[in-house]
Chains A and B, each alone.
Chain A
Amino acid sequence: MLPFLCALLASQAPPAPVSYQRDIRPIIASRCQMCHQQANRSGGVALDSPTGIASLQATLLAAVTGDPPKMPKAGKPLSAAQVSLLKKWFEEGAKDDSGKAAPVIWWSLRPIAKPAAPDTGDKNPLDRFIHAKLAEHKLTPSPEADRRTLIRRVTYDLHGLPPSPDETDAFAADNSPDAYERLVDRLLASPRYGERWARHWLDVAHYGDSHGYDKDKPRPNAWPYRDYVIRAFNQDKPYSRFVREQLAGDILYPEDPDGLIATGFIAAGPWDFVGHQELREKTTDKKITRTLDRDDMVTSAMSTFASMTVHCARCHDHKFDPIPQEDYYSVQAVFAGVDRADRPFDRDPAVYARRRALLARKRAVQIEMQPFLDKVEYATSAEIAALDASILDAKLLIAHIGTPKNSADAAEKKQLEARLAAETRRRKQLVDAIAGAETYAEIDRLTARKKEIDAELALLPAPEAVYAAASYFERAGNFRPSLVPRPVYVLARGSDQSPGKEASPGAMSAVAAIPARFTLSDSQDEGLRRAALAGWIVDRQNPLTWRSIVNRVWHYHFGAGIADSPNDFGRMGSLPSHPELLDWLAVWFRDDAGGSMKQLHRLIVTSATYRQSSANRAEAAKLDNDNRLLWRMNRSRLDAESLRDSVLAAAGKLDLAEGGPAVRMFYFKDDHSPVYDYSRFDPDAPGAHRRSIYRFIVRSVPDPFMDRMDCPDPSVFTPKRSTTLTAIQALANLNDPFIVRMSEHLAERVRNGPDPLSAAFRFTLGRAPPAAERALLEPYLQKNGLENYCRLLFNSNEFLFVD
């Protein structure tokens, strides 16, 4: 690993003399200024200016070079190269060139141009970039993997499932020159492809089927968004349309229900039920709840589509990247008019059009009525306040008694209920007097109008619903729509108690080619704000968007991105190993492929680089142990979903039904906090054999089997999954009721055939056992039976790893 890193550094070593602007400032900004700038001056030290840094020359060098170095306190010490740059700059007189030099533009923010592919003679342009870089480092690519390895690799990659033994045999025997290309086309045309790649997208979108937090209520209408993502991949929806729909489809494509469903992206993350529904309006905690809710939307949108950590600028300007706090709150302002709620839709365009018209009218009535309702809701006096306390007390005490256990409890409950009724009556009298008859007259008039609209809505066929971004919905408890965008302020230190100036909708000012603040025809129309953000993201000139998506796709194919931090293209992220290739791909995908994911997959998986053997070569590993240069293919471990689906497939039980409500693969009991119990679930229950993407994903209580296989916490933004290997994981692979039951099913599947040993082997590993393995397994099978044998195969490394 070391020689390669040195090579990388060497190729980037700046020529003399050292420039403050180019060389020193990035080091100080990324490693020192989080504590040492005018704003915080930790230890009395501020390193904002070249003169400030120069004045501390000796102290600074001593601090970063000690053993261990005193500074920086967080993260790794400065590299030798960085220290030598600092020393050299001091030696050269610590010159300040910040005024004259062009500002440093970080790689991801530079405009993209399509570089020419190196001339290596390869047919596939990707191979040209990869092979040229290998040659530079005196490395050679590996030979192509054998047929059986290839079909297993590409089928897992595109479907998340193994090829059937027959498919494998047929492909191994097919000698036509385009056999592989035809295989790829067949795989991309199958609905299994969308199910596989949607799962990747849902990791990034942090999708779940419950709200999370306290109570963690189910979110029964989240799944239409999941199905939308599957559909989008299978239909090969152009990427720019895919982005637009997820941020503002309800505004941009109002006739298409998919436009609305796609905004499930904005609502996909966790939601604080108690904070929204129980906290009272106008309290500080309510404001905090909403700020954090929008924070999740900002993080999600900017990490997913732009691969930038804009969310790091909530409390202060971004420490490492050119993202001022104002940018962050501008993106918050984009989402200031939406909450997360169920939204109705119809597949019939005429019905849907009618519903939208009626709901728009209803919303207008609601806007007109709200001031009168507020008059009633916020009417108060000393007596009302006292009554409120007493009414709440009575309600709580009644709840506390619950079902009376004895006559004393029953009597107390009865008395409390009488008190509650009397106090509620009295309260109403007092409020009525304050609000006045004219208020009620207005409310009655407008309620009547709402009822007329409701009557018309009731004539329509029952709608479906999706949990999505919503600017209008029926109030539930203290959770109510904003109706107009809520004001968003730049918050000092991120605190809702320290609002600064009001933020206007916009995005990142560091993307120079596109205006960072949006010009909208109606500033109070929240939909225009989201549409403008979508436009900013898919702008041809936005260098982040196009690099982001091709890098993400590359990451899933190879196990590592070209820049190995798919959600962070900032200074804290990884540098791209092949920056020219990344730019070439970004432009090709945007222009030549028209944003077609399937074309991008095809280009990648048909490359020689992708088709290489994954076998190790000691001499190459010495130079590049991490395989950043791709001198071989990476071996991968099955992710949780692929493992589970493969077990079902081998057992002959995989149910390929598509779409629909999430399958609850646990015992469920609704309660104050619902019970989600995976130990009380039959692995053969109806729906239990569906593909894993259709599982009901609970945020608070993960499925223990999937959890141990590194299935991520659905509240975490997960651009890369970790793969761990632990004893607890081995136990799950051995003993989980799912695995044990499927071992029985596989045993039944092969029991009556001529050669059960070979048959089960083929269903799990896709090949026939050679003599040596047969000699090992035959006596084991005789002694322990088919079920144990099948369970052993499910636990083998070969089943779990893809070469």
Chain B
Amino acid sequence: MKRRDFLWSHGGGLGGIALAHLLGQESLLQGAQPRPEFNGGIHHPARAKRVVQLFMSGAASQCDTFDYKPLLIKKGGEKWDPGEKVELFQSDPGVVMPCPWEWKQYGQCGKWVSSLLPHTAARVDDIAFVHSMIAKSNVHGPATFMQNTGFVLPGFPSMGAWISYALGSQNQNLPALVVFPDPRGFPPNGPANWSAGFLPAAHQATMIRAGSANPIHDLFPPDWAKFITPESERRTFDVLKQFNEAHRADREGDSRLEARIASYEMAARLQISAPEVLALDGETDATRTLYGIGDPATDDLGRRCLTARRLLERGVRFVQIWSGADNGFPRRNWDSHENLAKDHGEMGTALDKPMAGLLTDLKARGLLNDTIVYWTTEFGRMPCSQGSKGRDHNPFGFTSWLAGGGTKGGVSFGATDEWSYKAVDRPIYCYDVHATVLHLLGIDHTRLTYRHNGIDRRLTDVHGTVIRELLA
């Protein structure tokens, strides 16, 4: 059933307004709504229906992954002179530092990728690279906010929350927005990165703590509450409904009372659907191996990526997967100031096979056609060394990429200079990538607004241009 049909013709007596309220779909009431003739888009035909974002916390290096610069190999160890004063986060520029990994060309498109990510390299024909990303801050907190919300300040809604606000969920039994933090901890800014900001709480993310005894907070009563049994729970839902219906009968005309009764029915359904989607037992050995499940180096991200696929295929709109926690020691994210070969090495190995597995699996199931895979990080790293073995922050040029969902595979947009230091060809902020993702979902980024404290706020602030070169 089409979502809109469900909303407006639902026969159970639940009015459209009450349900829209319940699902937080105020936008439906304000005129914008997913339209069948737009393939579920709200402003124009959609190419994609859902997004999975892989966020590299701590700043993944572009010049050690996808941004190939032979000059770094040629001039390795020499004094680095880009011809201008360079202001870095912590240090002053060191010598030119070559990538610790070999580079090879892959795919039909002949894309150069470092041997840090060999499995992902095999998928380059599905990937549209943006090499000319720039950031408005070289500090992790503000820059991570920016990639997530479009603003360097806290308090703004994340991209996933905006998409939930625009499109709602495709599955009433699952949340619209799901986040998998790194089990080692939260990234800089913590869950504020996926906050609904000033959008209604209906657009808050549901966090799944993979590997924890209770992966979804409050999905079930605590273990120690022995007085709650499946039988008592069934009766509780039943009697609570009757009790609330009696209360409502005396208070006609308040859709919230109706909506809250319905929210318990949805809660009961979520209790059934969520464990089913989180259980990986039904997946074949081949699939599990594809994601690297079972190998200690890749098991964690493998499980998170596979669970993400299961959520996406059941209609979850936006899944965010974090590779990396905070910037503390011992290093547990991509912030490799001290020893890039070791720290990027570990992060890359843990990521590569699961991420490539996700791309391969989505494609094999036909899901990649209308699922956007969005790889990003808060900024890049410098081509010169920090100290002897590390790299400092580089907000002047870094790489993001998109795959699937109507993007063109095997293309590269924009470029950094010969050092991989500064974006010189069509430098862009995250606004353009965000605008492009929204565009593919059938949303005009300039018309997806929410009035807060006097401003019609947008994910893209007052900026953003759709990157046509990336569209298939």
Contact = CB atoms under 8 A, between A and B. Distances in A.
Interface centre among A284, A700, A705 (most CB of B within 10 A): A700
B242 to A, nearest CB: 6
A724 B192 contact: no
Contacts of B89: 278-279, 285
B11 interface: no
Contact of B202 (A390, A724, A787): A724
A800 interface: yes
A278 to B, nearest CB: 8
A678 B222 CA distance: 13
Interface in A631-684: 635, 637, 671-673, 675-676, 678-679
Nearest to A77: B31
A309 B454 contact: yes
Given A213-B188, A392-B91, A729-B263, A303 B218 contact: no
A403 B300 CA distance: 25
B85 to A, nearest CB: 11
Given A715-B155, A719-B453, A780 B138 contact: no
Interface stretch (B251-259, B290-298, B346-354): B251-259
A735 B242 CA distance: 20
A780 B235 contact: yes
B204 A728 contact: yes
A713 B155 contact: yes
B198 A716 contact: yes
Contacts of B195: 713
Nearest to A772: B246
A616 to B, nearest CB: 3
Interface residues of B, number: 105
A570 interface: yes
B214 A572 contact: no
Nearest to A709: B201
B84 interface: no
Interface string B177-217: 00000000110111110011110111010100000001001
Interface centre among A618, A723, A726, A787 (most CB of B within 10 A): A726
A704 interface: yes
A565 B202 contact: no
Given A213-B154, A274-B140, A621-B253, A784 B247 contact: no
B326 A672 contact: yes
Interface in A714-756: 715-719, 722-732, 734-737, 740, 744
Interface centre among A671, A705, A801 (most CB of B within 10 A): A801
Interface string A612-637: 00011010010000000000000101
Contacts of A708: 201, 204, 218
Contact of A270 (B154, B254, B270, B449): B154
A701 B251 contact: no
A389 B326 contact: no
A796 interface: yes
A388 interface: yes
A21 interface: no
Interface in B410-424: none
A734 B196 CA distance: 23
Contacts of B201: 707-710, 722, 724, 726, 729
Contacts of B388: 393, 397
A792 interface: yes
Contacts of A389: 91-92, 94, 387
B454 A776 contact: no
A725 B263 contact: yes
A275 B141 contact: yes
A215 B240 contact: no
A467 B191 CA distance: 24
Interface stretch (B69-77, B331-339, B358-366, B431-439): B331-339
Contacts of A732: 217-218
B469 to A, nearest CB: 22
Interface centre among B92, B197, B201, B232 (most CB of A within 10 A): B201
A14 B244 CA distance: 49
Given A724-B202, A725-B263, A616 B142 contact: no
Interface string B268-286: 0111000000000000000
Given A74-B456, A735-B222, A707 B204 contact: yes
B387 A392 contact: yes
A427 to B, nearest CB: 14
A74 B145 CA distance: 24
B235 A673 contact: no
Nearest to B193: A700
A541 interface: no
A392 B92 CA distance: 10
Contacts of A702: 191
Contacts of A285: 87, 89, 137-139
Given A567-B454, A704-B217, A734-B267, A673 B154 contact: no
Contacts of B426: none
B236 A568 contact: no
B41 to A, nearest CB: 14
Interface string B107-146: 0000000000000000000000000000011111110110
Contacts of B337: 396
Contact of A725 (B155, B256, B453): B256
A292 interface: yes
A285 B252 CA distance: 57
B4 interface: no
B472 interface: no
B243 A773 contact: yes
A730 B219 contact: no
Nearest to A781: B239
Contacts of B141: 213-215, 272-275
Given A76-B31, A216-B189, A615 B251 contact: yes
A402 interface: yes
A727 B326 CA distance: 31
B30 to A, nearest CB: 8
Interface in B165-182: 175
Given A400-B329, A673-B186, A725-B263, A798 B456 contact: no
B222 A567 contact: no
Nearest to A295: B153
Interface in A749-803: 772-773, 776-777, 780, 783-785, 787-788, 791-792, 795-798, 800-801, 803
A214 B144 contact: yes
Contacts of A724: 21, 24, 200-202
Given A397-B338, A621-B253, A730-B264, A785 B387 contact: no
A722 B454 contact: no
B454 A716 contact: no
Contact of A292 (B152, B222, B326, B328): B152
B267 A776 contact: no
B356 interface: no
B451 interface: yes
Nearest to B227: A787
A777 B246 CA distance: 12
Contacts of A388: 91-92
Q: Which 3 A-B pairs have the closest CB atoms?
A: A393-B387, A672-B328, A700-B190
12 contacts: A270-B155, A275-B139, A275-B141, A399-B338, A618-B252, A635-B251, A672-B328, A713-B198, A727-B264, A728-B206, A732-B218, A776-B243
Given A389-B92, A725-B22, A791-B236, 17 more contacts: A74-B446, A76-B30, A213-B142, A278-B89, A309-B455, A392-B91, A397-B389, A568-B453, A616-B254, A673-B185, A673-B325, A699-B192, A715-B155, A716-B155, A776-B242, A792-B236, A797-B247
Interface of A: 34, 73-76, 206, 212-216, 270, 272-275, 278-279, 283-285, 288-289, 292, 295-296, 303, 309, 312, 385, 388-390, 392-394, 396-397, 399-400, 402, 565, 567-568, 570, 572-573, 615-616, 618, 621, 635, 637, 671-673, 675-676, 678-679, 699-702, 704-705, 707-710, 713, 715-719, 722-732, 734-737, 740, 744, 772-773, 776-777, 780, 783-785, 787-788, 791-792, 795-798, 800-801, 803
